[in-house]
Each structure stands twice: as structure tokens, then as C-alpha cells.
Amino acid sequence: MLGHIDYINLLPFYVFMKKHYSYYTTKKSYPSKINKMFEKKIIDAAFISSIKSKNKKCLDAGIVANKKVLSVLVCNGKNKDDFESNTSNILAKVLKEDGEVIIGDKALIRYYLQDNCKDLAKIWYDKYHLPFVFARFCINKNNKEYKKMINHFLNTKTYIPQYILKKYKGNLSNKQIKEYLNLISYKIGYKEKKSLKKFLKLAKNYE
């Protein structure tokens, strides 16, 4: 069984899965809940929050933002974690950014409303000149199957049909969704690994 995070940033992956691997069963939830299900081995594989991926068997695939992400914000107000998140809450502390942490599609909508929020991936990039890895694809079992599937995904350009975009858009336009998805990549290479190592080292003080 595959963990399914129903956020726009993973829309290309799930459209790809539906087209090529529709026989896989999935269990849907938000990131921090998916992390717990993975730990308990309720699911075989999933995109796991970077902070929870330490010492796990992970592939060179994840959710990566280069210079900005738009969907991981810290907004004016009292310090408050987002219960759906693990990595982003720690990232705000590492970057010493006070305020309310907001992630996912609700954050993306808020970004476009220009609601006194800062993009945490942009702050990270401005400070370290590295992309930020928010999640990694990790495996509990069926290693060969998932390696083959992820390799296929990373080498496939996925087209998202209009009717699927409409389902997710909410207050967002198709143009905004496409603009957002252009900021996301899924391959974890040298720079991404360097960034991840730096984040995990800095995060030790806040776990």
C-alpha cells in the first residue's frame, strides 16, 4: 500500500500513478499522519517528511523546491506549528522565523492572497543557495517494485488533464497551479543531498 498526500505538489505523481500503476492501493492523509503510518508499517512506501526520513530506506526522489515554493509559509501572528507538517515546523525554527507555519494547498491560496507571509524555501535558498528538500520517497518493503516505479516517474513527463486541475484549483486559477508546479522538482541529486544533510544537521537542535 502506498501513502497518498493529497496536495497539489504531488499531483503529477498521482496522475502518473493513475495512468501507469492504477493497480496500487493507496491510503490518503496529510504529511505528518503519513509519517506515522509509515513508521507503523501500515503503508509500504510514501513521500516522507525529510525530518522523519533519517535512517530510512529512501530513493533519490522527493519533493524539492529550488528558489521558492509558495506553499510553505510563515505568516504574521503568534508562533504556531502546522499540525499537518513535520519538516516545515522545524525549518521555521532553523531559520529563526517567528509566526504561524502554514503548509500545503491552504498555504498556496494564502500566498496568492498576499497575506503578510514569507516563503520558507526562499529564505533557505537566499541563505544557503541550495534547493530545499521537503520530503523523500521512502520504502518499507517491495523495494524492487518501487525503485522501478520511481525511476519510471522521474523519466516521464506527466500531463495533467484540465478536469483534474479543476478539482484541485479552489480559489486558484489553472495558470497559478501550473506556475506553482513549475517550482517543484522530484529528482534528488548532489545539491539536494547537500541541502538535506545541512538541514538535518541544523535540525538536531530543534527536534
Cβ contacts of residue 176 below 8 Å, gap of 6+? 108, 112
Cβ contacts of residue 159 below 8 Å, gap of 6+? 15
- Which comes out higher in pLDDT, residue 112 or 127? 127
Report CA-CA distances (Å) from 70 to 32, 49, 165, 169, 175. 19, 17, 18, 15, 14
Closest by CA to 124, choosing from 79, 100, 92, 102, is: 92
Mean pLDDT score of the chain, rounded to an integer? Answer: 92
Closest by CA to 46, choosing from 6, 106, 92, is: 6
| Number of other residues whose CB lies within 10 A of the CB of residue 41 | 10
pLDDT, tens digit (0-9, with 9 covering 90-100), for 55-114 = 999 999 999 999 999 999 999 989 999 999 999 999 999 999 999 999 998 898 888 877
Question: Beta strands 2-5 and 26-29: pairing type?
Answer: parallel
Closest by CA to 31, choosing from 51, 5, 53, is: 5
Domains and CATH numbers, the chain: 2-203 (3.40.190.10)
- Whose cell is 529550488? That residue is 66
Share of the chain above pLDDT 90, in %: 73
- Whose cell is 533557505? That residue is 124
Q: Longest Cα pair distance anywhere in the chain, in angstroms?
A: 46
Give the per-residue pLDDT at 160: 86
Yes or no: say if 6 and 26 are a contact pair by the CB < 8 Å rule.
Answer: no
DSSP 86: S
Yes or no: say if 183 and 68 are a contact pair by the CB < 8 Å rule.
Answer: yes
pLDDT exceeds 90 at position 164: no
Which residues make beta-bridge pairs with 49?
Answer: 135
Give the per-residue pLDDT at 156: 94
pTM over 0.85: yes
Question: And the C-alpha cell for 206?
Answer: 530543534
- Whose cell is 480559489? That residue is 171
Give the per-residue pLDDT at 168: 66
